[in-house]
Amino acid sequence: MSDRDAGDGRAGRPSQRAALLTETVIVAGACLLALFWIIPAETMDQAQLGLSPRMMPMSCIAVILVLTLGRCALDMVFTSQAKRETPRQPLRYALLVMVAAACGLTAIHQFGLLAGSVLLSLFVVLAIGERRPLRILAVALAGGAVPMLIRTLGL
Amino acid sequence: MEDLLLGIGDALSPDALLAVLFGILMGYVVGVLPGLSRPTALAVAVPLTYYLSPVAAIAFLVGITKASAAGGATSAIMLNTPGEPSSAATCYDGYPMARAGKGKKALKIALYASVFGDIVSTLMLIALAKPLAAFALKFGPVEMTAIMIFALTFIAALSGGSMFRGMISGILGIFIATVGLDAESGTPRLTFGMVDLFDGVPLIATTVGMLAFAEMLLQAEALMARKKAGATEIATMEETDTSISRAEVRRVFPTLLRSTGIGVGAGIIPGLGPTIGAFLSYAVAKKLARPGDTFGEGDIKGVAATEAADNAVLPASLIPLFAIGLPGSVSAAVLVSAFMVHGITPGPLIFEENAALIYGVYFSMIIASLVMLAVGRIGLTFFARIGSVSPAIIIPVVFALCVSGTFLEAHSMFAVNVMFVFGVLGYIMQRYGYSVVAFLIGFVVGPMFELSLRQALIVTGGRLDVWLEHPIALTMLAISAVAAVVFMFPGTRKFGGAD
């Protein structure tokens, strides 16, 4: 019996297995990086009093690593094909909006909160595909209204 | 008595009353608009409370939460599009009522049921929180650690699609909370030499990023994917039946009581939240249907059941927050950040250290319920029209609000950058099924959990036999272990999405 028509609830298509393994490798890799490099470099091993400052971050990451490996193993055995198939929107949409937002943040860095917020709203509204001038104008004005209020009220 | 009078005085001050009113108005708008969720609105609103008194600030946020729960029913009934996930069950009977020309009647039932559930749940909060807090004061670090493990296990189990991913999210939240100066030794941890991180990762920036910014990324993505989405029109059926008779009130009342009880239960138990509360309440009401009931075809009992339960959840979720400092839902977690902004730490000591504030909050909650009734009744049809505002306008404006709100936290771009990073992280987590709710609750309770755990390790000296002297902690840990094993295997999870 092929993976595709496995009726006993085991892991489904090879692409789904590959996605599961990729996710596991990424998360487990990040955990190992944190355990053996980031946490030792960014925390002291021993404190003069009490428990080690490293104890909690190390414990958290170790538990995440165990859970990730455990989930991978259990999903390989138990998860049904139907449950795994969750349709997702193409990543490019969100990436485009993230880039627009990042450009907006750069604009705030460069031109200040008021002008930057107007530009941020403009970039985002254009990124999500709005082309009607009146709506774009309304969004830009609304985007600048809050920082304007902050400045006016001296908050 | 003096604290009570002071609290009532604070709640009746003009700024607190105005805050309640604005909170209710904002909450209604948020509830009606399908693109905006309650936690998103709360996260964006917290920075707006910096300059309010503590009572006014909490009253404002409570107003938003209460009214968004009630407002969510409006678009569910009129447009068959729930403004809030917790109002989805209202569509089952609300929309058929609107189609049958009973839209106004359904809106009235939803409003009255919301206010009823809300007031009863608030009274439960007032009655239970203080005695529970007094009891919780007897807990030592071992019990507190066990209770937090118990709560996080249930939140992880019920707040997403996978128990493992929920637990990973919660523990990641605790891990992020360790950034900053170590509470015991004062040495920096994971700060990468950035002085801005010495106080830890900014709470507001994380909350706004994870909830509002990430949510808007998802909304934008969905909007762009729906290339030519058909505009949904507000139902314009001719109204044939708008009033509620006494016989109908008598018929609905037992359902209201039962549903409020279910909502209170869903609020107290960590991780359940309003969505599960509302669906559970509807399922129970349907199960107990009498001859003549027409669930699914436009029965007022169906609308009343979901709305009473939905609105009963928030006040009840404040019971564990005030009693032991544990937020049971993401809305409660956001309220924790609002308390902290004003220098107040929720927990059992709050009744001794800030008694006037708590009484003020209680009184404001009752006022908010009454204002919600008035505003909802007056703006019944107006709010139904707001639901047609395009997400293409909402999304960029909320992005700008996220930036402005985060900037207000410290008047620095550092917090804004942190918000952006956590917004992207929140988007990735939601996209791949990791619970943002569990992450945020882990992040909020992280410092308290670490402190309790460290104290517990010192108290027990690492010896397992000492745990036998702590039966409450042992029971909690045993329940957590059983729940974890049960929920780990597929097919045991029927619901998802706490709050």
Closest CA to B170 of B487, B385, B440: B440
How far is B113 from B338, CA to CA, in rounded Å?
Answer: 28
| pLDDT average, residue stretch B10-39 | 82
Q: Which residues pair with B189 in a beta bridge?
A: B180
Task: Tell me the pLDDT tens digit for each residue of B113-166.
Answer: 999 999 999 999 888 888 888 887 778 888 888 888 888 887 777 666 678 888
Task: Tell me the pLDDT tens digit for each residue of B396-450.
Answer: 888 888 888 788 767 788 989 999 999 999 999 988 888 888 898 889 888 888 8
Least confident span in A13-27, A67-81, B247-261, B464-478? A67-81
Measured at the CA of B310, the angle between CA B307 and CA B312, to 5 degrees, comes to 105
User: What integer pLDDT is reported at residue B240 of this predicted model?
Assistant: 61
Radius of gyration (C-alpha) of chain B in whole angstroms: 22
Residue numbers of B between 373 and 412 with CB closer than 8 Å to A: 390, 392-393, 395-397, 399-401, 403-404, 407-408
Closest CA to B387 of B96, B68, B24, B21: B68
Residue numbers of B between 156 and 175 with CB closer than 8 Å to A: 161-162, 164-165, 167-168, 171-172, 174-175
Least confident span in B183-187, B311-315, B415-419? B183-187
Mutate to test the interface with B, among A8, A59, A124, A136 (most CBs of B within 10 A): A124
Of the partner residues A54, A60, A120, the one whose CB lies closest to the CB of residue B175: A60
User: What integer pLDDT is reported at residue B229 of this predicted model?
Assistant: 53
Of the partner residues A42, A74, A83, the one whose CB lies closest to the CB of residue B190: A42
User: What integer pLDDT is reported at residue B354 of this predicted model?
Assistant: 83
Tokens of B32: 């009606």
Tell me whether residues B396 and A139 touch, CB distance under 8 A.
yes
pLDDT-derived band at A101, boundaries 50, 70, 90: very high
Looking at per-residue pLDDT, the higher value among B474 and B101 belongs to: B474
User: What integer pLDDT is reported at residue A150 of this predicted model?
Assistant: 67
Q: What is the mean pLDDT of chain B?
A: 82
> Under DSSP, is residue B324 helix (H, G, I), strand (E, B) or coil?
helix
How far is B318 from B302, CA to CA, in rounded Å?
Answer: 26
User: What integer pLDDT is reported at residue A100 of this predicted model?
Assistant: 93
| Number of Cβ pairs < 8 A linking chain A and chain B | 185
| pLDDT average, residue stretch B172-191 | 89
| pLDDT average, residue stretch B173-177 | 94
Rounded to a whole number, what is the distance in Å from the CA of A1 to chain B's nearest CA?
A: 22
Q: Please state the ipTM of this predicted complex.
A: 0.86
User: What integer pLDDT is reported at residue A34 of this predicted model?
Assistant: 94
| Residues B85/B76, Cβ–Cβ less than 8 Å | no
One-letter amino acid identity for B145? T
Sign of the torsion angle spanned by Cα atoms B477, B478, B484, B485: positive
Tell me, yes or no, if A102 comes closer than 8 A to chain B by beta carbon: yes
Q: In this model, does residue B28 exceed pLDDT 80?
A: yes
Rounded to a whole number, what is the distance in Å from the CA of B225 to chain A's nearest CA?
A: 7
Least confident span in B29-33, B204-208, B447-451, B473-477? B29-33
| pLDDT average, residue stretch B212-230 | 79
pTM of the prediction?
A: 0.78
Rounded to a whole number, what is the distance in Å from the CA of A4 to chain B's nearest CA?
A: 19
Q: For residue B281, what is the DSSP state?
A: H
- What secondary structure does DSSP assign to B420-451, as a single string? HHHHHHHHHHHHTT--HHHHHHHHHHHHHHHH
Tell me whether residues B182 and A38 touch, CB distance under 8 A.
no
Q: What whole-number percentage of chain B has pLDDT above 70? A: 89
Looking at per-residue pLDDT, the higher value among B394 and B414 belongs to: B414
Q: In this model, does residue B323 exceed pLDDT 70?
A: yes
Q: In this model, does residue B223 exceed pLDDT 50?
A: yes
Least confident span in A135-149, B9-23, B97-111, B479-493? B479-493
| pLDDT average, residue stretch B285-298 | 82
User: What integer pLDDT is reported at residue B227 of this predicted model?
Assistant: 59
Q: In this model, does residue A7 exceed pLDDT 60?
A: no
User: What integer pLDDT is reported at residue A48 of this predicted model?
Assistant: 60
Backbone angles phi, psi at B188, to 5 degrees: -70, 145
pLDDT-derived band at A153, boundaries 50, 70, 90: low
Q: What is the mean pLDDT of chain A?
A: 81
Contacts 24+ apart (CB under 8 A), B464-473: B467/B142, B470/B140, B470/B142, B470/B143, B470/B146, B472/B139, B472/B143, B472/B146, B473/B142, B473/B143, B473/B145, B473/B146, B473/B147
Tell me whether residues A138 and B393 touch, CB distance under 8 A.
yes
Residues of A in Cβ contact (< 8 Å) with B417: 105
Q: Give the range with max mean pLDDT: A79-93, B348-362, B412-426, B476-490.
A: B412-426
Residues of B in Cβ contact (< 8 Å) with A60: 171-172, 174-175, 178
| pLDDT average, residue stretch B81-97 | 78
User: What integer pLDDT is reported at residue B34 of this predicted model?
Assistant: 62
Q: Which residues pair with B181 in a beta bridge?
A: B188
Q: In this model, does residue A10 exceed pLDDT 50?
A: no
Q: Give the range with max mean pLDDT: A58-72, B55-69, B203-217.
A: A58-72
> Under DSSP, is residue B180 helix (H, G, I), strand (E, B) or coil?
strand
Q: Give the range with max mean pLDDT: B264-268, B308-312, B332-336.
A: B308-312
Rounded to a whole number, what is the distance in Å from the CA of A128 to chain B's nearest CA?
A: 6
User: What integer pLDDT is reported at residue B289 of this predicted model?
Assistant: 81
pLDDT-derived band at A52, boundaries 50, 70, 90: confident
pLDDT-derived band at A149, boundaries 50, 70, 90: confident
